[in-house]
Amino acid sequence: MPESLIAGIPVHFPFEPYPVQRAYMEKVIQCLRDGTNGVLESPTGTGKTLSLLCSSLAWIRTRQSEHQQQMVKMEKADFTGLGGGAAGGDLSELAKTMGRANNWGVPKVIYASRTHSQLTQAMRELKRTAYANMRSVVLGSRDQLCIHPEVMREQGNSNKTNMCKLRVHSKTCSFQMRVESRKDHPDLRGPSIMDIEDLVKVGQRLKICPYFASRELVPQADITFMPYNYLLDPKARKANKIELGNTIVILDEAHNIEKICEESASVQIKSSDVAMAIEDVTHIMQVFASGESQDMGGDEPKDFTLDDLTLLKEMLLEFEKAIDAVVVENAVEGTTFPASMMYELLGKANFTYGNVATIVSLLDKLVQYLLVASQQMTIRKGGTFTMLSDLLTIVFANKEDVMSKVYASFKVHVQLEEVKQGHGKQQGGKQHGGWLGKGTIAAATGSIKVAKIINFWCFNPGFGMEQLLNTQVRSVILTSGTLAPLKPLIAELAIPVAQHLENPHIVDQSQVYVKIIGTGPDRQQLISNYANRDNPKYISSLGQTILNVSRIVPDGLLVFFPSYPMLNKCVDAWQASGLWADISVKKPIFLEPRSKDQFTSTMEEFYQAIRDSKGAVFMAVCRGKVSEGLDFADRNGRAVIITGLPFPPLKDPKVILKRRYLEANRTRENQLLSGQEWYNLDATRAVNQAIGRVIRHRNDYGAILLCDSRFKDASQVQQLSKWIRGHLGDRPQCSPFGPIVRELRQFFKNAEANMKLPDERETDSPLETVCKTENEPIAAIPKVKREPGSNATFKSANESAIKVEMANSIKTWTPADYASAAGRKLGGAAPNAMDFMSRLDSNVSSIDFNCCMDSKSGSSGMVKIHKRERSSPTQPESSSQVSKKRYKLVENIKVEPSSSQVKEAPAERADFLRELRSLVTQDQFRRFGKALLEYKDGTYESFQALMVILLDVLSAPKVRYMLVGMRKYLKNEHKDEFDQKVGKL
């Protein structure tokens, strides 16, 4: 790959980087070199992820090389000081190997993004680079990685997590127990980059837990991929044991980072949750009182006592009473209180900083207990205890010495909860008194209590970033295609930033057509504000606009609406008026579904329609799945229509409180946005994200149509991405619909004539690890033809199936192959009976239909013939019986070397230690190193200790050649005894 010198660091890039990519990589390297933070914006399609990975890993590799050179100098010094002795050389190599295992003290990279699909795309980019051999690992949840059948049957991620913890604690998960013994297996630590699906496949093959196995790979990894919440959520960071000291944290797709930081510090609890928690505690107390706990838990002592349960129930009853006492003046929108109210509510129930850790521990134990109990009876699995634990953890995560900042940044909002019918009814009309009573039945007092929702909301994203910076990270890099304006973002996050960048786009002006459409074909104004969105004329004019554009735009057309209600309203109106049918005649229409399963199938159908050259229209919502993370490159998205500005709900309590917070805390020094500016920016950033779905690479082209007259306002234009503003000009105006139709038609005509067809994207062969054998060429599998612009995400499974089918098919099989298997040439004289009978004493051939060999060329076909010796003698009396030639189908497996091929240990000390490290476990290698150090003196006792370790570690037949190879590193007086001990094996 081409090498470029950027900021003094040699960077290997898949091609000669463009100027915007060089500028981006230079900023990244400066951040890493100086240990500073950066906020970098580069439009979607400029190779941002590729530039980010190559520059950061190039810097890491350079640092590793510098440390290795220092180790070489140390080795020379040690060699000179020890007089060049063999033992001294061994010790230097051992120290060198140990240093490599510890990454030479070089900082490591943590690459975080919003979703696992985005992480998978980043790992796919890494495979294309010269840094694909660097050690990497991806972290996922138990829901994604667990392969235990009983745990996977649990509903919900929380239940799966708790069931997994229970099985690990009780040592009843065989998959987890095998991790320690197989964590150094080559399949797990191999050179290939493994995403979530690859980890699961390796785990299933090795019968080990992918979740815990991936955690074992983290200490040696140069780069670790993980979702945002693993970093920003203190609970998740602690649960996953993520160490951030001296690390480089990269937050990709960081345009929503403020919201994620706020949400990680916010929590909600309902009256019904507290009531159900009281019922669950009561049930456990009843079990204890009746002695049924012996049936569920045996004679093993519990982690809690009846006194613990009594105290907890008393606290929960007081907490419920405190919530019931809260007066909600506005029954529709709820009532807002200062943050101190949350601490007052919990204080009335005696939840304090002093006892919160003990209570959270008790709640976790109760969850484990209920999981066991739910195996034998119908009972809730402790979900309410988990909610209470989260509440206490988040609320009391803020230290007492920063309470003034907490009171300024948090608010408590109380809403009324919808009461479900039948809630709180007595079963059998019987009520228990005392501590075994439910304690939540309002019917006993003759009044009905109104359930409430208590929201503890954070409006200062700086809380999450401050916790991240306090972990002594080396650098934090925030990057996305839509971060502008940068100053308010930096001010809200309260993060010191030394490097910032707003890159232009990589495409030419001629590749993008951007216009603001203020009126439809019928000259009706297009404006999707609150006053006009219900106007039938506006809805009809918008539909006519989409219809006319769909007749011009080739292939894929994306239409984004401000909200789901607006999308549904337009669809209903167009279906009633016939516009829907008119659009469908030209292109089939797909709607963004909300469920995960429907979403996948809908996207597959959309891409198939593009491949079938029908074209298609995809109608989706800003901030939805389609607008955030999917790739509509080339034919999949030739134009995008934005039907309106997706402002947050104006009367939403959270939106109102966020605007008030900004107004109250805004100063000239901190450069925070005003409430109205934030409100406008939130909508524009969602628009920028939706626009970014279309232009995905250097040779892509497409049209961007903003169908709302408000886009011409200066306040909205200034918040659009910098590259979009360049196309709109200094004073953008709404264009009449007629000229836009002519210009749009001409734009696509010119683009199709002048732009080259998109390059086919390379995909990794899923069969490479299955069919490949050493010293044996791989048969060429015909490349599956890809339509230009097809999406790899939804085609990989189809291509894998095709390749598997090809790998097991026989395309070049001829009668000559049967003749060859029988040991004669085709066309030769047929053997007589005696010749045939004599063949029974000769070698037998096995035909391998899965092997990648050609009978003619020996290299490019599909079949390979193996020979084996027939050892059984043939008696004369049995020779008269005619036997058929037997052909055996064998698997395409790696042929082990015969016993005559004795494998030898590497001659060089460095190679010897490197191979030894790959063959033994980390613990065994550590013991070997310690014994080798002690053998430096050359005493007989140290030799005996070394032999004990060698015989324990290297006595297995597969690694015995390494034991033999150790002989030349021993002193002469010990070699005879070494030979005797080895000879007895």
Binding-site residue ranges for ATP: 42-49
What is the rounded distance in angstroms from the CA atom of residue 385 to the CA atom of residue 381?
9
Residue 735 corresponds to which tokens in the numbers above? 């264009």
| 3-class secondary structure, 142 | helix
Q: Are the C-beta atoms of 564 and 531 separated by less than 8 Å? A: no
Q: Of 551, 702, 708, which Cα lies nearest the Cα of 643?
A: 708
Q: Are the C-beta atoms of 458 and 266 separated by less than 8 Å? A: yes
Number of helices (H), then strands (E), belonging to the chain: the values are: 43, 21
**CB-based contacts of 278: which residues, under 8 Å, 6+ apart?**
313, 316, 317, 320, 438, 439, 440
Please, what's the largest Cα pairwise distance for the chain? Answer: 108
Residue 70 corresponds to which tokens in the numbers above? 């220092």
- Could you give the C-alpha distances from 960 to 230, 902, 904, in angstroms and in order? 44, 10, 10
Residue 512 corresponds to which tokens in the numbers above? 């993008």
Query: In 10 A of CB 340, how many CB atoms?
Result: 14
Amino acid at 456: F
State the virtual CA torsion across 278, 283, 287, 290 in degrees, nearest 10.
Answer: 100
- Could you give the C-alpha distances from 411 to 154, 271, 648, in angstroms and in order? 35, 18, 19
Sign of CA dihedral 623, 625, 628, 633: negative
What is the rounded distance in angstroms from the CA atom of residue 962 to the CA atom of residue 942?
20
What is the rounded distance in angstroms from the CA atom of residue 854 to the CA atom of residue 844?
19
Question: CA neighbours within 13 Å on the CB side: how many for 517?
Answer: 34
Asked if omega into 562 is within 30° of 0 (cis), the reply is no
Judging by beta carbons within 10 Å of its beta carbon (0-12, 13-18, 19+), is residue 959 exposed, middle or buried?
middle
Q: Of 201, 54, 24, 65, which Cα lies nearest the Cα of 125?
A: 54
Residue 557 corresponds to which tokens in the numbers above? 């057309």
| 3-class secondary structure, 412 | strand
Cite the annotated binding site by residue number.
Answer: 42-49, 146, 164, 173, 209
Ordered strands of the 410-416 beta sheet: 267-270, 452-458, 410-416, 335-338
DSSP letters for 817-861: HHHHHHTS-TTSPPP-HHHHHHGGGS-EEEEETTS---TTTSSSS
Cite the annotated binding site for [4Fe-4S] cluster by residue number.
Answer: 146, 164, 173, 209
